[in-house]
Structure 1
Amino acid sequence: MAKRPNSRVIRAARTYTIDEAATALGVSTGTVRSWVKAGLPLMKSQRPFLILGDTLRSFLQDRAAGAKVTLQPDQLYCLTCKAARTPMGHMVDCIPQTDKTARLLGLCDVCGGTCNRMIGNAQIEQIVRIFSVAMKDGSTA
């Protein structure tokens, strides 16, 4: 999966050429050009064309905000459908990730693909009320 560019590396008071913007964000120049086609404004009064840092930063933040999906308590994120879905039969596997987090995995009710959700360990008690949870160690919660 592609990594999202970090808009915080862009300085708001600076102007960037397409090449400079691509280098600063760690993406290709073709990616920046596709953003221009998608609506990123350029200063075209002279060559090379320039992008205002503040405009580039807000463009990236708007794209990131549009990509976020809000999940209801009984939903996981389907990696195939790219949408919030209820897992088949409300059955999920709970896999510990760190001392404080766990991953819920299930199958999408629509396409049968993998559904995913990260939760805090403190939320496991709430999740058990909603889903039939199988813990990674083989126990059932």
Structure 2
Amino acid sequence: MAKRPNPRAIKAARTYTIEEAAQTLGVTTGTIRSWVKSGLPLMRSRRPFLILGDDLRGFLEDRAKRRKAPLQPDQLRCFTCKVGRTPMGLMVDCIPQTPKTARLLGLCEVCGGTCNLMISQTKIDHYSQIFEVAIKEGR
């Protein structure tokens, strides 16, 4: 099963049954039915109910767009809260991931969970002005 359904797998000019849509996106039929309950339009004129590919693609893109929330300059994304949070005491660890990227890790002020932000290694100096950065060993 796919972690996040890819809207580009849907052909906009085609109609899908619930089963076809589930198979195309790699999700269960129950997932498609829950999307219908939360606003995915169906063609109910006859059975089997059909879903317009354009509607399904638009529904998935809107869902993805609503999930994305830009971070403030002093925020990292909290894994537990699933939103941008300021790390405790503005202290973060910088862990190099690849020759070009690094990961900033801190503790969430609200829940105490891990906060994370992937950055370019060229921006470490910029984030050092905002946070108290401790550079750790990378991979």
Same-fold status (TM-score > 0.5): yes
Partners of 2:101 and 2:24 in 1: CA distance: 32
Tell me the matched-pair count.
Answer: 137
Aligned to 1:124: 124
How large is the Cα RMSD of the aligned pairs? 1.3
SS at match of 1:123: helix
TM-fit CA distance, 1:82? 1.3
TM-score (norm 2): 0.95
- Structure 2 counterparts to residues 1-141 of structure 1, below 5 A: 3-137=3-137
Runs of 4+ in 1 over 6 A off after TM superposition: none
Q: CA offset at residue 106 of structure 1?
A: 0.3
Amino acid corresponding to residue 20 of structure 2 in structure 1? E
* 1:55 Cα deviation from its structure 2 partner: 0.3
Q: Secondary structure at the match of 1:119?
A: strand
Q: 1:83 Cα shift? A: 1.3
Structure 1: give runs of 5+ residues left out of the alignment: none
State the one-letter code of the partner of 2:130.
I
For residue 88 of structure 1, what is the amino acid of its counterpart?
A: M
Q: Distance in 1 between matches of 2:105 and 2:89?
A: 13
% identity of equivalent residues: 72
